[in-house]
Amino acid sequence: MSTDEGQQLPLTHDQESWWQDPRLLARAVIPPIAVWLLMRTIDTIRALNFTGPFGFDAKPWTRLDAFNYLAIASGGRTLTPCPASIVHLTHAHLCGTAAWLPGFPYVVRAVAGVTGWTDGGAAVLIVNLATLGFLGILWIGLLWRGPLLRGGLVLLGIAIFPGSVFSLALFPVSLGLLGVSISIVALHRGRPLLSALGLALGVICYPSVIYAVPALMVVLALSAPQGRRLRRAALGLVAPIPLVLMFLHDQVVFHRWSIYLVMQRESNATLLPPHNPFSQAWHLVVDQDAFAQLLQPHAKGWIAAQFVVASVICIGAVGVALWARTSDFSLTLDLYPALVGLFVYGGVILSGVLGGWLRSIATAAPAMLLARRLPTWAVALVVGATAVVTAGISHFYFTRALLYAP
């Protein structure tokens, strides 16, 4: 059967057991692996003096907050008073690693304990397996039955979405995307509890995933029978439960349940009060004097371009979803990914935090799923622009992060 770009691959009942058919197995397995390798190439192409697409040494990927995650893996979350120099510079009074979520480092500790590897080696394994995992879930769960070329381009667009370089770094971004991908596919398969549990995985690993919880609740409510919408929407509250457990832990250990929120607020990472999104956009794109751009003037154009690309995809996904309402509109495949992208985008721009446009925006990547409704040439254009920007940002990541090495 032909699997050319313009044709779909219809599956019979027997063909659902794709792992028993060599041709279907190849179609299911090869594209996500190929996209993962291409993603590694694009994310490192401008930093080959530090690492390469086939290098798995932990050192080049241990940058910025990665040191804090590895510290939690080895010694748990800690809380200490800040030195006077830090207080003078940032006005923060609480230091330590309690300002970072524990999901990723605890997985690192578990894998390191089982394998006997270093924490860095275990982290490299985890982030790459998680990246392969979310790509494979989205491909086998949603994309592989459609046109092969367009589906592959959509998957590549998700893989190299702005911030993707941190999916391969020793950060929880890939685990956050794994949780969001599980949530999207599970909801499409009619398993709302599994969908909420998948999002819970992402929430305890990476903070920007919390912005996707309202998106899940909206879609759960709209997809429920009349009279059961409130009960179904409440199922989405399963997703933040790991955060509640962390708050209980912090009350017992640090005697202050809100210590994570307090430390985030001291670093200016909070939605309350919200930052002016139009002012943020102006500073990022026109003045190019946002904090990250002032730190690295040579990269300020790439940071501005990344913001523009992320904006086009996230806002464009909502437009495509609205346009698709006139045809075979799907709440789970159209509305949910579009809302995930929009809510994550909105949360990041309102928070005003430095890492938002370098890392956190990566969890909006599922918005790219809406591109499967576009002509292949349009998908290729978006993916090409994203690839260029992502390659430029990777250079920023590797060079700037050296300043933070201990």
Q: Tell me the pLDDT of the chain averaged across its residues.
A: 85
| Residue at 5 is within a domain | no
DSSP state of 311: H
Which pLDDT band holds residue 403 (cuts at 50, 70, 90)? very low
Q: Specify the number of domains making up the chain.
A: 1
Q: Which structural domain range is residue 323 located in?
A: 14-404
Give the dihedral sign, CA 60/64/66/70: positive
| Residue at 2 is within a domain | no
Residue 30 has pLDDT above 50, yes or no: yes
51-to-64, 68, 303, 336, 400 alpha-carbon distances in Å: 16, 21, 21, 36, 15
Exposure b/e, 45-58, CB count within 10 A at least 16 = b: bbbeebbeeeeeeb
Residue 110 has pLDDT above 80, yes or no: yes
Predicted pLDDT at 94? 79
| Residue at 262 is within a domain | yes
Cα 394 to chain centroid distance, Å, stands at 16
Instruction: Give pTM, 2 decimals.
Output: 0.90
Which pLDDT band holds residue 384 (cuts at 50, 70, 90)? very high
Percent of all residues in the chain with a pLDDT value above 70, rounded to a whole number: 87
Which pLDDT band holds residue 9 (cuts at 50, 70, 90)? low
Which pLDDT band holds residue 395 (cuts at 50, 70, 90)? confident
| Residue at 1 is within a domain | no
Instruction: Give the residue-averaged pLDDT of 366-379.
Output: 94
| Residue at 32 is within a domain | yes
Predicted pLDDT at 28? 83
| Residue at 203 is within a domain | yes
Report how far residue 232's alpha carbon sits from residue 217's, in angstroms, rounded to the nearest whole number: 8
Residue 83 has pLDDT above 50, yes or no: yes
- Both structure tokens of 86: 């830090």
Highest mean pLDDT among 6-15, 104-113, 295-304: 104-113
Q: Which of 10-14, 263-267, 346-350 has the lowest mean pLDDT?
A: 10-14
Q: Is 361 or 274 the better-scoring residue by pLDDT?
A: 361
Q: Which of 108-122, 163-177, 218-232, 291-305 has the lowest mean pLDDT?
A: 291-305
Which pLDDT band holds residue 362 (cuts at 50, 70, 90)? very high
| Residue at 231 is within a domain | yes
pLDDT tens digits for range 242-257? 999 999 999 999 989 9
Beta strands in 42-188 (DSSP E): 80-81, 94-95
| Residue at 83 is within a domain | yes
